[in-house]
Amino acid sequence: MIAPSLLSADFARLADEVARVADADWLHVDVMDAHFVPNLTLGGPVVEAIARVSPVPLDCHLMIEAPERWAPGYAELGARNVTVHAEACTGDPRDVARDLRAAGALAGLAIKPGTPLERYEDVLRDFDTLLVMTVEPGFGGQAFIAEVLPKVRRARELVDTGHLTLLVEVDGGVNADTIEQAAEAGADVFVAGSAVYGADDPARAIAALRARATA
């Protein structure tokens, strides 16, 4: 699945930019609070507006503190998948997963490049998606950190051996070159910001990424 990240879109033309990626599987929306990450993007009111015009389901990536307080609200706005950062959860991440599912969304857990997967293998049983960050969260346009790929491989193995039922997602620095490594490691969902919105024709960029991921 290809999930273009709206972070690299022209925020002055949001509805048009959303329409340009109608061929995608999910639309990835990065919510940042200037506390969990040193950047501030958008929140509930803008996500609500995007949800109204988006032809594809929303994949909300919450890079915020106190995700247990805010995450269910994004599910209630109709997001298909809502991902919280494991590092930001103050309580048991399984409580957030339960609230997200109760609100009708898939529940996602994200881990930063330096966060070990083993720490969360048990709680992942209650999640539907695992987002393995392949850059430090906060900004688009950074270089893919290939050293993170063993975590993708390990997650794939846990899914393939029946220990977990998860979609494995990668986010950060994914482009036509790096997507092959991520696909080979076993990712299911590929987030791409600059590789899609930086292209002259986002629809063609999405098709090219899809072709490379399944090659």
* Exposed / middle / buried, residue 91 (Cβ in 10 Å: 0-12, 13-18, 19+): exposed
Phi/psi region, residue 138 (left: phi>0; alpha: psi -120 to 50; beta: rest), is left
Residue 171 makes contact with Zn ion by CB under 5 A:
yes
HSE, CB side, 13 Å, CA atoms: give it for residue 16. Answer: 6
For 90-135, strand residue ranges (E) read 106-111, 129-133
Of residues 55 through 94, those in contact with Zn ion by CB under 5 A are 61
3-state secondary structure of 168: strand
Residue 140 makes contact with ligand DX5 by CB under 6 A:
yes
Q: Is 5 annotated as a binding residue?
A: yes
Q: Which is nearer to ligand DX5, 8 or 129 (CB)?
A: 8
Catalytic residues, which ones?
A: 30, 171
Residue 181 makes contact with ligand DX5 by CB under 6 A:
no
Binding range to ligand DX5, per CB under 6 A, among 41-49, 71-79, 82-90, 140-148: 140-148
Q: Which residue is nearest to ligand DX5 (CB)?
A: 193
Give kind and range of the element (H or E) at residue 49. helix 44-53
Given 43, 44, 138, 186, the residue binding ligand DX5 (CB under 6 A): 138
Residue 213 makes contact with ligand DX5 by CB under 6 A:
no
Of residues 29 through 48, those in contact with Zn ion by CB under 5 A are 30
Tell me, what amino acid is at 152? V
Residue 192 makes contact with ligand DX5 by CB under 6 A:
yes
> Could you tell me if 40 and 56 are in contact, meaning their C-beta atoms sit under 8 angstroms apart?
no
Binding residues for a divalent metal cation: 28, 30, 61, 171
